[in-house]
Chains A and B, each alone.
Chain A
Amino acid sequence: MTDTYSILSMTEHAGYVWPCYALAAVLLIGLVVSSLNGLRKTRIELEQAEKNIVRTPQ
């Protein structure tokens, strides 16, 4: 088990290792957020459009 200080400092390689993990978090979480946002928006618009279809006299 690697000790905590050694992890955080990555023995002078912290400037290379931590940005990789940070970038992975930003990209992967960002893609999830944008996908779920898109899903929610589209669902709201679809419900609205289906209501309009019901109200329109045939």
Chain B
Amino acid sequence: MKMLHQFANPTRFLRLSTRVEPWALVVTVVCFALGLYYALFSSPVDYQQGHTVRIMYIHVPAAWMALFCYTAMAVSAAVALIWKHALADVAAKSTAPIGAVFTLLALVTGSLWGKPMWGTWWVWDARLTSMLVLFFLYLGYMALRDAFDDPARGARASSILVIVGFVNVPIIKFSVDWWNTLHQPSSVFRMGGPKIHPDMLVPLLLMAAAFQFYYFWLLLVRMRRELMAQRLRALRHRQAEH
């Protein structure tokens, strides 16, 4: 708990993030370079899906990050509401657009993969539908956040929304087990370990690492900007009073 409050101090956070950001960026670029090379040039064609299996290296990491970002937002929102942790709220706000982009990417690449493999762009399947709901939750969070004149009230209302909406994350995760879905069950994170051949698992994990570090780096950039914007609002407010 003490560590949690250590990072409530923006100054300490800014000092740390300035040091960490360059390294996060370097790791992101290296992982993308390796991941794309393996994904496009050094991984086998699937005996059934042919080259469309290469869509997996974008679609699956994007879907993982869509869920990861929403979970990070829900935890941050809870910390912000319970402990009035200013930086947790900044983290939730900074994460939302990134999570929305990952969700959109997962939905569209899934559709592009579904047409040649399932013969349709879209089907109201439990997995696809709950992912679409997740996308609307992201948009709803961002819209609700900016719907109030008072930023604090917007933050509070949107925090409650994101926490309530978290019920959708396990629904997405287990939809392929609970319902009879066209979407295949989990192939990596499952009891008994991955069912994917290492030649395909390596590019998949490299791209997943690239997406993860991309999120971490961009989160730091966006949080820095949000802290500056908060200081700017405070200065303008003080100027208006004089």
Residues of chain A touching chain B, judged by Cβ–Cβ distance below 8 Å, are 1-2, 6-7, 10-14, 16-17, 19-21, 23-24, 27-28, 31-32, 35-36, 38-39, 42-43, 45-46, 49-50, 52-53, 56
Whether the pair A27, B229 counts as a contact (CB closer than 8 A) is: no
Of all chain A residues, the one with the shortest Cβ separation from B234 is A49
* Given A20-B112, A24-B105, A36-B221, residue A10 in contact with residue B54 (CB < 8 A): yes
> Can you list, as one digit per residue, whether each of B174-205 has a CB less than 8 Å from chain A (1) or not (0)?
00000000000000000000000000000000
Determine the distance from Cα of A7 to Cα of B193 in the docked complex, in whole angstroms.
30
Tell me, in angstroms, the Cα distance from A19 to B113 when the chains sit together: 10
Question: In whole angstroms, what is the CA distance A57 to B236 when docked?
Answer: 15
B contacts with A: majority SS: helix
> For A38, what are the chain B residues with a Cβ–Cβ distance below 8 Å?
222, 225
Given contacts A35-B221, A38-B225, A39-B221, contact A56 B239 (CB under 8 A): yes
Return B57 CB to nearest CB of chain A, in Å. Answer: 9
Apart from A13-B50, A20-B112, 8 more pairs, CB < 8 Å: A1-B41, A16-B55, A16-B113, A16-B116, A23-B109, A35-B218, A39-B228, A42-B232
B:134-154 near A, CB below 8 Å? none
A16-B52 contact given A27-B105, A50-B235, CB 8 Å threshold: yes
Listed in ascending order, the chain B residues whose CB lies under 8 Å from chain A are: 36, 40-45, 50-52, 54-55, 58-59, 62, 97-98, 101, 104-105, 108-109, 112-113, 115-116, 214, 218, 221-222, 224-225, 228-229, 231-232, 235-236, 238-239, 242
Interface of chain A, helix or strand or loop or mixed?
helix
- Note all chain B residues with C-beta closer than 8 A to A16: 52, 55, 112-113, 115-116
Closest residue on chain A to residue B211 by CB atoms: A28
Does the CB pair A28–B51 fall under 8 Å?
Answer: no
Instruction: Name A10's contact: one of B51, B59, B224, B242 (CB within 8 Å).
Output: B51
Q: How far is the CB of B17 from chain A (nearest CB, A)?
A: 12
On whether the beta carbons of A32 and B108 are closer than 8 Å, the reply is no
Show 28 A/B contacts (Cβ-Cβ < 8 Å), sorted by A: A2-B43, A6-B51, A7-B51, A10-B50, A10-B52, A13-B51, A16-B113, A17-B51, A17-B54, A19-B112, A20-B55, A20-B108, A20-B112, A23-B105, A23-B109, A24-B58, A24-B62, A24-B109, A28-B214, A32-B218, A35-B218, A38-B225, A39-B224, A45-B232, A46-B232, A46-B235, A49-B232, A53-B235
